[in-house]
Structure 1
Amino acid sequence: MAHIRSRKHPAPSHLLALMAAAIPVAVHAQEAEKTLPAMTVKADADVPYKAEKSANTKFTQPLVDTPQTVQVIRKEILQEQGAATLMEALRNTPGITMQLGENGNTAAGDTFQMRGFSTQTSTFVDGIRDLGAVTRDVFNLEQVEVVKGPAGSDIGRGSQSGYINLISKLPQAGDINSASVSVGTDNYKRLTADLNKQIGDGVALRLNVMGQDADVAGRDYVKNKGYGIAPAIALGLNSPTRFYLYSQHLRQDNVPDGGIPSIGMPGYFHAIAEVRDGAKVNRENYYGSKNDYEKIDADMVTAKFEHDLGGGSTVRNITRYGRNKIDRVLTGVMTIATPTPADPSTWTLSRSRQRVDQENEILANQTSLNSEFSTGFIKHSLVAGLELMYERQKSRTFATMAQTINGVAYAAINNPVANLYSPNADDDLGIPYATGAYVDGKSLTTALYLFDNLKFSERFMLNGGLRFERYRVSTDGRTLVTGGANGNQAIYPGYAVGQLAPDNIEASDNLFSWKLGAVYKPASNGSLYAAYARSLTPPGSSNFQLAASSSNQSNAAMDPQETVNIELGTKWELLEKRLNVSTALYRTENDKQVTLVDAVTNTYAQVGKTRVDGIELSAVGQITNFWQISAGVAKMKTKQLSMSNADAVRWSPDLTATLWTSYTLGDFTLGGGVRYVSEQKRVINPATPLATQAMPKIPSYWVADMMAAYKVNKFVNLRLNVYNLFDKEYINTLNNGGARITLGAPRTAVLSANFQF
């Protein structure tokens, strides 16, 4: 059937009404069904920005009928924005914020939280967990899927607030080749290529490559450099039996950033008045050594088999081996000292020397069955699967202080102070030495899962998921015994200070997670839903490091944390199914957190609870044939219940919003976007006086970007991206101590030439 696409623009007032009130639209749609003659509408098969379904085979229904908040960020929007990293891609979804790290330490790789909870260990590639301190690149991604709310039935342990699933590019039938060359301010240079070649009947090869070398905008010495290659082969395309073998290999050689002191920023406090009123440092100041480095190797190899059994059933098996390693030496800023308060040129800053040497390894196998069938009048879309997984993380310990270890004396690493306003990157800073201590954690998981969507009629569906998993975590390590008031000698009574004590701790348990959703469709293009989900987070699940301390959440004797999520929402496909709009109300409660219950006896118990209430609205797709939009707003409120440490819910902005839109007029495309993040509180505890807390919060900020593209011909497209259009200075991340910040990038520009051949 021919499909006629209207080029008329809908009235702006009508569009705003549709997005502002989903329920009235539903009522209007029902009335239209009663009064208008029947018609057949065929949605555009390729609407930029908008996805019909998730690539995750556990979601069997279209997104509009999925009773959960799921946002799909397609590669088309990433290309328009010139996004290169996962963190840049995640700017397209509200409710996600970045983190810097603990006091003098700086987090490595993608470190973020979503809906009030840490999420960096809930990143997946094609449905398999991807651990490791890696800054992930998007060069080999078809799309990024953001699933919000507890998802233990989907992915297993953890996942208090959801997970990120990265969908890899795989070979396709036909020849589809593209390349992009980008140059920009701050010596930005990037090359990507996506080559797909069909070499026989049902056989295709695909190769994605990336190379990048760039300084970091607004920073001296800091730079990002790396390359990636992702080869793949597919057999049996367009046949009942398909096999894919693909891999990805990433190398990064960066100069890391330890940040700058927060002096002079709005809200800054220091006990000495002259420092409290001191000027900001130059944002380009580099307080580390020019020899600081960060080297990352990340490799994964995947084999995927699919076979259509007939009758709507498909069996799949995916096997993956992955390994990544980070070796980093970084300098972080610490405390300001003031020998002569009246003369700021003499003020100095202490620095920390940090070293990370960490390896992550994973071996996973998943077998699943998707089947569609009926029992009486009920139509089922069922998914059943078995998952076997081995994961390992090994981290070595380093030190800079003078001490004796196993009878060997180690001298202190030279760590001179830096001039606050004129640091010298040529300062001789030593590299922290290995103490011999390490943590080697392993996890074995066997899981069974079952999902079923029961369609009782065209109006009503039930969707449920169950996951049972047996896990075992073992920690094998060596801990350096220390003395003094803050030492750990009491935990290792048989060992002297300076000796390495063995840590061999194990924990195992059964976990049962589930979710249930009900969907009512008042019209064929929309749904109302209610969902309830339960997830569990066992001790040591994030890095397989069990602890002996009774105050540590990773103590092997602790019960798993329990997260419950309730969500009510509505989703609609509007404008001939070119535009998706949705609204979701949710409450998430995370229980059984360890908290101090008796300061006199120093007794801890699992009675802490965090509650997050929120609402999210989104609109993704086309307003007209030439006007695309991706927008989202998230409002949330976090609260710590029954907990002595209220700071556990910090870094949770009340309001976040994102907008990206583009309009095509002939060969020209103009686009732009705005991101807003309300203030992020570092200090939440009402008993803590904010006036004495260095930087008690990150002030709210908004940033605007723009894009202009010109289609030279069907083979060549030129694009200019300008980021932070109005050169807004804002704090991007703040450390937990409040003394150290990283600023968002100043105004930058990138010119790209994209080729199709």
Structure 2
Amino acid sequence: MLSAAINADAESPSKNVKKKHQYKEDSKSQTKKNEISDAETESLTVTGHGFNTMHDYLGLSRMPQDVMHTPQTINVVPQQLMQQQNVKSLDEALRDVPGVTSSIGEGAGGMNGDQFLIRGFQAQNDIYEDGLRDYGVYSRDSFNMETVSVIKGPSSEVFGNGTTGGAINMITKTPTLSNRATAEFSGGSGNYYRGTLDVNRKINETTAFRITGMGDEHDIVGRDYIYSHRWGVAPSIAFGLGRKATLILQYMHQQENSIPDFGVPVVTKPGAAYGQPITEYGIRRTNFYGTRSDQNSTNDNMETARFTYKLNDHITFYDDLRGGQYYRTFAGSKATCDKTCVNNYFYGNPADALVARSGPTGAGNGLGAGTYMAPLPYQQQSWSVQNVFSMVANFKTAFLRHQLVAGFDIENVSDSRQQYTYLNAKPYASLVNPNPNVGNLNLVPGNSNPSGLVNLGGIGAKANSNGYGFDTGIFLFDQIWFTNWLSVKGGGRWDRWQTAYNVTGGDVSKYPDKHFHDVSGVFNPSVSLMITPDSHQTYYFTWASSTTPMGMYVTNGSVPIRPGTTSFASPEKAQLYEIGAKYSIFHDRIGLTASLFRLDKGNAMNADPVTGELEGSSDKQRNQGLELSAGGVILPGWNVTATYALYDSSTTASSTAANLGKNIPYVPHNQATFWSAYNAFASKPYNFLIGGGVTWRQHVWLNAANTLRVPANVDFSAVISHRFDEHWKISMNGYNLANRLNYQSLFSNRATPSTGRMFIGEVKYTY
């Protein structure tokens, strides 16, 4: 038999380590791997990165099978790919995953940070780290990420409430029983400077310590006045490695000081069929319509304890506990170009085209009657705690083999905010030549200036808010093998979701304090039929459901509960129908996946075009399509990964007749990614690695009426690197090589231009 031995040290081509292929010889036990003897094995040494993720595990006890044997579309961004592309954030890692879009969360809460949509559906509350929810609203750096997985489709039976479009799970770097240290320094376009450190030390035969750290500061190429300064550290220690009982203790701290970029307004040119970003009509992509007073300061901390106990060969227990503390100070500006602004620009008076920096028309607050000022500055403090206990049991009943997963999940998240206002009005900005220097706007607490607070419908103009969400979940699902190759997996999760929201302060004589509370119980089942002729191929059909109840967005939605509107009505529900196939071919060198899916969502949450708030509706939406992926080693030293998605989305029922049959916002019809790299002369002093790729996304609509859209994105990138010896490596990455005007973060009436052409050089030392 033949096995592929991928170079164990992906960063050291001079070390050709032969790894015996592990395969599942006994098809009755897919969790037991037997090593092929040397006499039976022909080793094929491959220099390069193994991009085949079919046999990767997801790092979740609730999903104990590898990617190959999990009946759902799963896109994994491996560490090797992140290294070649010099990925620096979660947002950058997800650009390799089709169907994931960045959005600009906003509204009176002014949300920003990582705000993602999966297959067009909100996922800002569906970000996980090692299977535990990360409630923070911040831009997650990659310095402590091992891999990133996107588990697509409803998965409430695994993760709990939410996951309409899917879940994003990061696996963190944890200690191993080896001594290793890596230091990297990068510099490049846009005053870019970055340093990272990763040190792992073996303490004894079962204990190890690891610490990763990062410092990063840069401007944004192609955007004026935008910058980001952040640093982070993540120490961890592991006890009992290789033993029945293992305990991993982790801490993560990240701070950032940056300028939020709410992009440019989307306008409809007189006579045009649909609106586009104003930068499509001659306005410079560099234009920043915010002010020098804008800021985004975050301080995020998470403490995690993960315990594993293997009782015997059949039963393993897991208990994962995390606490999180998140602090944020925020002030941003939303640019709005109204009809007068549009007419002045397009009818020959561009100097008179003025942009409101405070959002569209709405409640009055000192800027003149009917002027809406959002997002308001605020300070936010949040904390969370979550504990997930689970058991994985492998056993038989008569001739049937089972893998049972059962457990409970308890989590609490709490949030409080203090709104601030400006005593001085934000002056309008020139559409053509905006000036961020607006002087002292006199920032004061909201209670000092009640007339400056924003009035949100059903709530009132309030200075302070606080709320919490408490969830108790019980889950159980079982995979039953009827034969060696045919199995059924089914189960569900019941959740009791309790949430509260309180608003106080402001002019209480006009807007009394209000207190809201809600309790709901939901059950989300799933069932899958799986055919696995051998360990290298899987065919499946899955039906799964999810529920997003009221009040889910405690930390990343400024008004999680709003009685009197449809957001207080029934929860958002979604159902997934998916058929797929997964292959690991050419002796596990190449992984292939294909899936057809249909995702139906009822009571869809839509973004209000004025406030930016997520509100429930009676709308029903459907996204269906085809997803393909391939990744692995084609020839020794030649790696490739490619994805393609074809989506057909529509609104199938709506209270607004004109929206019926329209495309779902943020869902492209076509999307594809490709990346390939070749390591030439790996064992020679003149070795080099060269690679490149492209990401492409067809145009997307920004609103339910399909009257506003952003054009297609096309981004070419490349890398070249050289290793001097086992320790030193230099590399150069280029991004957006065509300097194309792309758009990254999107919202219902604005879009943020992506980074322009940039180059980053890196020096890396490994010991």
Q: Please give the range of the TM-score, normalised by the shorter of the 2 chains.
A: 0.7 to 0.9
Residue number in structure 2 paired with 1:344:
350
> Alpha carbons of 1:265 and 1:711: their partners in 2 closer, same or farther (altered >3 Å)?
farther
- Give the alignment partner of residue 574 of structure 1, picking from 564, 574, 585: 585
1:705 partner letter: S
How much does 1:676 deviate?
0.6
Contact kept, 8 Å, 1:506 with 1:546, in 2: the verdict is no
Contact kept, 8 Å, 1:247 with 1:300, in 2: the verdict is yes
SS in 1 for 2:733: strand
Cα distance in 2 between the residues matched to 1:605 and 1:669? 50
Q: How does 1:646-665 map to 2 (within 5 A)?
A: 646=659, 649-665=664-680
Residue number in structure 1 paired with 2:75:
71
Cα distance in 2 between the residues matched to 1:89 and 1:368? 29
Cα distance in 1 between the residues matched to 2:158 and 2:616? 29
How much does 1:422 deviate?
2.3
Cα distance in 2 between the residues matched to 1:313 and 1:429? 64
Residue number in structure 1 paired with 2:499:
473
Q: Deviations over 1:550-580 (max 9, x none)?
A: 3232x1xx22222111100011111111111
Q: Deviations over 1:271-310 (max 9, x none)?
A: 9xxx999952222233322342210000000112211111
Cα distance in 2 between the residues matched to 1:531 and 1:592? 22
Cα distance in 2 between the residues matched to 1:254 and 1:546? 26
- Give the alignment's TM-score, normalised by structure 1: 0.84
Cα distance in 2 between the residues matched to 1:449 and 1:166? 22
2:670 partner letter: L
Cα distance in 1 between the residues matched to 2:385 and 2:108? 34
SS in 1 for 2:311: strand
Residue number in structure 2 paired with 1:223:
227
1:78 partner letter: M
Residue number in structure 1 paired with 2:737:
725
May I ask how many residue pairs the two structures share in their alignment? 677
2:753 partner letter: L
Residue number in structure 2 paired with 1:377:
399
SS in 2 for 1:88: helix
Q: How does 1:677-688 map to 2 (within 5 A)?
A: 677-685=697-705
> Alpha carbons of 1:680 and 1:105: their partners in 2 closer, same or farther (altered >3 Å)?
farther
Cα distance in 1 between the residues matched to 2:533 and 2:237? 44
Residue number in structure 2 paired with 1:457:
483
> Alpha carbons of 1:519 and 1:191: their partners in 2 closer, same or farther (altered >3 Å)?
same
1:348 partner letter: L
Q: Which moved more, 1:412-421 or 1:302-311?
A: 412-421
2:739 partner letter: D
Residue number in structure 2 paired with 1:137:
141
Q: Does the alignment pair 1:199 with 2:189?
A: no
> Alpha carbons of 1:176 and 1:115: their partners in 2 closer, same or farther (altered >3 Å)?
same
Q: Which runs of 5+ in 1 are unaligned?
A: 8-38, 401-411, 482-494, 596-603, 691-695
Residue number in structure 2 paired with 1:395:
417
- Give the alignment's TM-score, normalised by structure 2: 0.83
Contact kept, 8 Å, 1:710 with 1:718, in 2: the verdict is yes
Cα distance in 2 between the residues matched to 1:156 and 1:252? 30
SS in 1 for 2:434: coil
Cα distance in 2 between the residues matched to 1:475 and 1:150? 27
1:388 partner letter: I
Contact kept, 8 Å, 1:119 with 1:163, in 2: the verdict is yes
Q: Deviations over 1:95-152 (max 9, x none)?
A: 1111134589964001121112111110011111111321011110111111001001
Cα distance in 1 between the residues matched to 2:696 and 2:271? 20
> Alpha carbons of 1:230 and 1:619: their partners in 2 closer, same or farther (altered >3 Å)?
same
Q: Does the alignment pair 1:441 with 2:467?
A: yes
How much does 1:441 deviate?
1.5
> Alpha carbons of 1:203 and 1:729: their partners in 2 closer, same or farther (altered >3 Å)?
same
Contact kept, 8 Å, 1:41 with 1:576, in 2: the verdict is no
Residue number in structure 2 paired with 1:314:
316
Residue number in structure 2 paired with 1:293:
295
SS in 1 for 2:513: strand
Cα distance in 1 between the residues matched to 2:618 and 2:294? 43
> Alpha carbons of 1:664 and 1:470: their partners in 2 closer, same or farther (altered >3 Å)?
same
> Alpha carbons of 1:268 and 1:398: their partners in 2 closer, same or farther (altered >3 Å)?
farther
1:587 partner letter: R
> Alpha carbons of 1:387 and 1:363: their partners in 2 closer, same or farther (altered >3 Å)?
same
SS in 2 for 1:572: strand
2:249 partner letter: L
Give the share of equivalent positions with the same residue, in percent: 26
Residue number in structure 2 paired with 1:49:
51
- Give the alignment partner of residue 194 of structure 2, picking from 190, 195, 207: 190
1:469 partner letter: D
SS in 2 for 1:332: coil
> Alpha carbons of 1:342 and 1:396: their partners in 2 closer, same or farther (altered >3 Å)?
same
> Alpha carbons of 1:540 and 1:479: their partners in 2 closer, same or farther (altered >3 Å)?
farther
Residue number in structure 1 paired with 2:330:
328
SS in 2 for 1:76: helix
Contact kept, 8 Å, 1:314 with 1:371, in 2: the verdict is yes
2:715 partner letter: V
Q: Which runs of 5+ in 2 are unaligned?
A: 8-39, 359-373, 448-462, 607-614, 682-686
Q: Does the alignment pair 1:707 with 2:719?
A: yes
Q: How does 1:146-545 map to 2 (within 5 A)?
A: 146-262=150-266, 280-335=282-337, 337=340, 342-352=348-358, 354=375, 355-400=377-422, 412-428=423-439, 430=441, 432-436=443-447, 437-478=463-504, 480=506, 496-497=509-510, 499=511, 501-543=512-554, 545=559
Cα distance in 2 between the residues matched to 1:435 and 1:104? 13
Cα distance in 1 between the residues matched to 2:571 and 2:165? 16
Q: How does 1:512-661 map to 2 (within 5 A)?
A: 512-543=523-554, 545=559, 547-553=561-567, 555=568, 558-593=569-604, 607-645=618-656, 646=659, 649-661=664-676
Cα distance in 1 between the residues matched to 2:716 and 2:581? 29
Cα distance in 2 between the residues matched to 1:570 and 1:463? 16
Q: Which moved more, 1:646-655 or 1:724-733?
A: 646-655
2:678 partner letter: Y
Residue number in structure 2 paired with 1:28:
none
Cα distance in 1 between the residues matched to 2:41 and 2:620? 51
Q: Does the alignment pair 1:88 with 2:92?
A: yes
SS in 2 for 1:301: strand
SS in 1 for 2:437: coil
Contact kept, 8 Å, 1:100 with 1:106, in 2: the verdict is no
Contact kept, 8 Å, 1:234 with 1:242, in 2: the verdict is yes
How much does 1:641 deviate?
2.1
> Alpha carbons of 1:301 and 1:156: their partners in 2 closer, same or farther (altered >3 Å)?
same
SS in 2 for 1:200: coil
How much does 1:713 deviate?
0.8
SS in 2 for 1:519: strand
Cα distance in 2 between the residues matched to 1:277 and 1:166? 35
Cα distance in 1 between the residues matched to 2:306 and 2:272? 53
2:221 partner letter: A
Cα distance in 1 between the residues matched to 2:601 and 2:539? 26
How much does 1:40 deviate?
7.1
How much does 1:211 deviate?
0.2
> Alpha carbons of 1:467 and 1:414: their partners in 2 closer, same or farther (altered >3 Å)?
same
How much does 1:243 deviate?
1.3
Q: Which moved more, 1:170-179 or 1:468-477?
A: 468-477
Root mean square deviation of aligned Cα = 3.0
Q: Does the alignment pair 1:753 with 2:757?
A: no
Contact kept, 8 Å, 1:60 with 1:381, in 2: the verdict is no
SS in 1 for 2:351: helix
Residue number in structure 1 paired with 2:17:
none
SS in 1 for 2:91: helix
Cα distance in 2 between the residues matched to 1:167 and 1:102? 28
Contact kept, 8 Å, 2:62 with 2:390, in 1: the verdict is no
Q: Which moved more, 1:339-348 or 1:422-431?
A: 339-348
Contact kept, 8 Å, 2:618 with 2:655, in 1: the verdict is no
Cα distance in 1 between the residues matched to 2:383 and 2:198? 28
SS in 2 for 1:660: strand
Residue number in structure 2 paired with 1:487:
none
1:660 partner letter: W
Q: Which moved more, 1:156-165 or 1:621-630?
A: 621-630
2:676 partner letter: T
